[in-house]
A and B are shown apart, each in its own frame.
Chain A
Amino acid sequence: MTIRAFVLSAACLAALIAPALADTTVTVLHVSENPAQTALWDKIAADYNAAHKGVNVQMKYLENEAFKAKLPTMLQSDSRPDLFYSWAGGVMQAQDKAGFLKDISADMASVDPTLSPTAVEAFKVGGKQVGAPFEVGEVAFYYNKKLFEKASVKAEDVKSWDDFLGAVKTLKAAGITPLVVGAGDKWPMHFYYSYLVMRLGGEHALADAKAGKDGGFKSPVFVEAGKKLRELAALEPFQPGYLQTKHGESAGVFGDGKAAMDLMGQWLLGMQAPNSASGKGLAEEDIGILSFPVVPGGKGKATDTLGGINGWLVSKSAPPEAVDFLKFFSQEKYAKEAADKAAYIPVVKGAEASFTNPLFKRLAGDLAATTYHQNYFDQDLGPSLGRVINDVSVAVAAGEMTPEAAAAAIQEAADQQ
């Protein structure tokens, strides 16, 4: 009796397991909260599953901070994802060094030429490709056209750092808060510091500092960037209480029309309305985009861009289907769909033509024509050094730290790595 029951249940179990064994599951872990983006990804996964019998691609979501905290442990366990979201940079390098990533250079050789070269380059470690980018972003000044008009500031006249300081003074004189920044979260302020370093030192500034050339982060470029940031902050251009303002709140301040400019990534366009007091935010036609001004005498160009490069990393144990899905994902038709729906700015060449939203079109145009694209400093440098840059950016702006001390603090943190 008991033996028969055992055989029966074993048979049932086998029947249950058999189809599961035939299926290959590819798990994709991401952090996106953008509904347009996740809807498109779910569709891509469904398309792939429909076209490939026996493969089941699953998109899974984990909250941003939880993702960052859990990933190191997950990668060492058996429940590691096959593909996972990445900002490239220092964290990716650490993951590669620990042997968690797969070399997919050969598999991607046919796809890479169709993608933005800067973005592909970002997903290489020592010449070896470990992932595929899907999106790039641009940090720029988003400005309120009505407030600019009220203060008679013309965006097209703001080209140099001095023009910019002049515009800030004019806005302030007109009783308008010139800039909004979520310094309570720190990283929004590091965009100023990063752009100043890029405009002053050009495309080699960060790489040179990392390599320890010319005093590393204590080089004159970083010190001068701090001085310029303090020069701006001394005009008191930020909204009152900016040191405690969180990123979401700052988007709301911009959406409520309480500040003229916000130096932010493209997601501000999606965030300003829901975070505003009215819930409506600014109409898109009232928002303009202004590139970060050039600094006279600096090595950087006005067309050098700062912004995120996001992509998928392939974990060591991922089945071949995972890489196959990555190629499927990188098709032009999906990139065009992302552009058409303004879900994100895809890295597939030529997709920028599909943008109908004028603001996204402008950003995609900037990125397609970029002379040098730099990943966020805090991602490029990794979590430890990155957060130090964020900390000192706020401290320098608030006059709590001298530019020299800030540069020294970054170098000290670099020495501790």
Chain B
Amino acid sequence: MTEPGAVSAVAGDHRVRSPAAGAPAADGRRRMTLNGWATVAVFLPPALLVFTVFVFLPVVEAGWYGFFNWDGYGRPEKVIGLKNYEWLFSNPAFQRALVNNGLIIAVSLLVQLPLALGVAVLIAGRMRGAVVFRLIFFLPYVLADVAAGLIWRFMLDGSYGIPSLFTDMLGLQPFYLLASKDWAFSAVLIVTVWKYFGFHMMLYIAGLQGIDKEVLEAAKMDGASPWQRFRHITLPLLGPMIRLSIFFSVIGALKFFDMIVPLTGGGPFNTTHTMVSFLYYFGLTRMRIGFGSAVGVVLFVICVTFAFGYQRLVMRDD
């Protein structure tokens, strides 16, 4: 609620300041412009250079390579038009990767965010031990993705991991979760939620702490039930934070990669790839740089469309 006001205040500031700067005599304005240019000359080139060399050029190059059948050696010469894209969309592993990315987004939004919000509401207050719980829930996020993936690979192993506890107890055959094409991706989803919900929980805790206690107390005095207070006060006031959390979730899901490699390596039968791991395994390790670039372009288009669309449509007031 306060944020939109803050934004317009800043915008208003600009509007007020520029005519004010223009108001003094002509030489005053020239000095301002000179100063402005000096600032631009000092601060813009490094940023522009870094952005151009490391962001803009690679994106353009990837778009260019996408039209070639190129193994990365020498110069790309064999133009094949849109063939890379044709092969890409007819590749069952890529189709599955798209579905998997969708699943990660769905689980992030429908399981991870409610969970993070619920836990945040429980431990945002100044109750005893809240800090300890925050730390515990946040720890997985601090852990390096690859390390976490390796740990879970051991924990999910059929011979000595968690599944073996149950299968041994019930006298069943050992069950190898990560070797099953029906279950391996579920394991990835569980680990994802475990790993990242702590981050979103922290976002919500920060948001909750920003809510004015007096509003909640006033509602309490008016006889609002805890659920009503949550539904009609906490949730709307958390709006900007929830929208931000959704944004991070979706972008995080789209570029999800680190955990796949140690956990499943995309297997079994290439059923657990995401778009990025598909790019890595089918583009880079196979030295099909043209094909990999095409994957990159598709990923780029999806990410940019989402990022700009979401910022424009959903986060425009935040």
- State the A residues within 8 Å of B (CB): 65, 68-69, 72, 75, 91, 94-95, 97-100, 184-186, 240-244, 382-384, 387, 391, 394-395, 398, 400, 416-417
- From the candidates B73, B83, B181, B286, name the one contacting A95 in the complex (CB within 8 A): B73
Q: Inter-chain contact count A-B, CB under 8 Å?
A: 76
Extra inter-chain contacts (16) besides given A72-B72, A387-B286, A398-B268, CB under 8 Å: A69-B284, A72-B287, A75-B73, A97-B73, A97-B74, A99-B74, A100-B73, A240-B158, A240-B173, A240-B176, A244-B176, A244-B179, A384-B288, A391-B269, A394-B267, A417-B69
Residue of B nearest to A242 (CB): B179
A389 → B minimal CB distance (Å)? 12
B159 CB–A CB distance under 8 Å = yes
Beyond A241-B176, A243-B179, whether A400 also contacts B73 by CB under 8 A is no
Residue of A nearest to B281 (CB): A387
B71 CB–A CB distance under 8 Å = yes
Contacts of B108 in A (CB 8 A): none
- From the candidates B83, B267, B285, name the one contacting A243 in the complex (CB within 8 A): B267
A68 to B269, CA, bound (A): 23
Residue of A nearest to B176 (CB): A241
B279 CB–A CB distance under 8 Å = no
B250 CB–A CB distance under 8 Å = no
26 of the cross-chain contacts (CB-CB < 8 Å) are: A69-B284, A69-B285, A94-B71, A94-B287, A95-B73, A97-B73, A99-B74, A100-B73, A100-B74, A184-B267, A186-B267, A240-B159, A240-B174, A241-B158, A241-B176, A244-B157, A244-B178, A244-B179, A384-B286, A387-B281, A387-B285, A394-B268, A400-B181, A400-B269, A416-B87, A417-B69
Contacts of B179 in A (CB 8 A): 184, 241-244
Contacts of A242 in B (CB 8 A): 179
B270 CB–A CB distance under 8 Å = yes
- From the candidates B157, B265, B285, name the one contacting A241 in the complex (CB within 8 A): B157
Beyond A69-B284, A387-B286, whether A241 also contacts B174 by CB under 8 A is yes
Residue of A244, A383, A398 most packed against chain B (CB within 10 A): A244
Contacts of A394 in B (CB 8 A): 267-269
B311 → A minimal CB distance (Å)? 34
A244 to B154, CA, bound (A): 11
Beyond A97-B74, A98-B74, A384-B71, whether A243 also contacts B287 by CB under 8 A is no
A337 → B minimal CB distance (Å)? 35
A72 to B264, CA, bound (A): 27
Q: Which residues of B from 154 to 198 have beta carbons under 8 Å from A?
A: 157-159, 173-174, 176, 178-179, 181
- From the candidates A69, A94, A244, A384, name the one contacting B73 in the complex (CB within 8 A): A94
A243 to B184, CA, bound (A): 11
A395 to B181, CA, bound (A): 11
Contacts of B74 in A (CB 8 A): 97-100
Q: Which 3 pairs show the lowest CB-CB distances between chains A and B?
A: A98-B74, A241-B176, A98-B73
A184 to B153, CA, bound (A): 12
Contacts of A99 in B (CB 8 A): 74
A334 → B minimal CB distance (Å)? 31
Contacts of B286 in A (CB 8 A): 383-384, 387
A381 → B minimal CB distance (Å)? 11
Chain B 8-42 near chain A by CB (<8 Å), digits 1 or 0: 00000000000000000000000000000000000
Residue of A nearest to B178 (CB): A244
A112 → B minimal CB distance (Å)? 26
Chain B 276-292 near chain A by CB (<8 Å), digits 1 or 0: 00000100111110000
Beyond A241-B157, A241-B176, A244-B179, whether A382 also contacts B269 by CB under 8 A is no
Beyond A72-B73, A98-B73, A384-B71, whether A395 also contacts B269 by CB under 8 A is yes
Q: Which residues of B from 253 to 272 have beta carbons under 8 Å from A?
A: 264-265, 267-270
Contacts of A91 in B (CB 8 A): 287
Task: Assess whether A243 is in contact with B176, with CB atoms less than 8 Å apart.
Answer: yes
